[in-house]
Structure 1
Amino acid sequence: MPEPRFLLLSDVAAELNVSDSQVYHMVRGGELPAIKIGGRGQWRVERAKLEEYIAGKYAETAAWVRDNPLSDRETD
C-alpha cells in the first residue's frame, strides 16, 4: 500500500519525534509548508514537502558543523 500523499500534523510530529504543538508552530511560522483543507480548515503537510524540509535541515546542520568546528576543549 502506498504511503499517503498528505500527513496530519500529528503524523509529522511522530515522523520528526517532536510535539504536535511544535509542528503547528513550524507550519504557522512558515518554516514547514502546509495547506488548510476542509470546512474546519485542518492542516495537512505533503509528504514531499516534509522530505524537502528534512533534507534542508540536514544541509543546514552540515553547514553549521562545518562553520563551528570542535575545539580541543570539546573533544576531551
Structure 2
Amino acid sequence: MPARFLQMSDVAEELSVSMSQVYHMVRSGELPAIKVGGRGQWRIERARLEEYIDRKYSETADWVRENPLAVKDEEADGSDEPDEPKPTKKPK
C-alpha cells in the first residue's frame, strides 16, 4: 500500500518539475498540503496530488478547446505531402 503522504521531493519527481515549483504550488494554494513536525516540513496527501493532476487535465482540455491549433492555408489542402521548402535569399 503506497504511503498516504508524499514529500515535496516525491511530488517534484512525480510531476517532473523542480522543488521550487512544487513549493510555489503549495504556498499559492494551488496544491493543498500540510506542515508537520517541529521544523514544519510540508507533506502532500497522495489523494490531493491526484485531484491536482485531474484538475490540470480538465484545465488543459478547456484551454485546447478555446485555443484550437492554427493551420496555415498551405497545409489545409488535405495533402499528406509536405510542402517544398521555399528558397531563401542570402544576405548581401
Query: How big is each residue's C-alpha offset from its partner over 1:7-58, in whole Å with a ceiling of 9 and x where there is no partner?
Result: 0000000000000111001101111000000111000000000000000000
Residues in 1 aligned to 2:3 and 2:13: alpha-carbon distance in whole angstroms: 15
Name the TM-score, length of structure 2 as normaliser.
0.77
TM-score (norm: length of structure 1): 0.93
1:67 — aligned with what?
Answer: 66
Match of 1:26 in 2: 25
Pick the structure with more helix per residue.
1
Larger radius of gyration: 2
Between the two proteins, the alignment pairs up a number of residues equal to 73
Structure number with the bigger relative contact order (C-alpha 8 A, sep ≥ 6) is 1
Percent same amino acid among aligned pairs?
71
Match of 1:8 in 2: 7
Structure 2, unpaired ranges of 5+: 76-92
- Please give the alpha-carbon distance, in whole angstroms, between the structure 1 residues aligned to 2:54 and 2:42: 22
Question: Where does structure 1 lack aligned partners over 5 or more consecutive residues?
Answer: none
Taking only aligned residues, the RMSD between alpha carbons, in angstroms, comes to 0.8
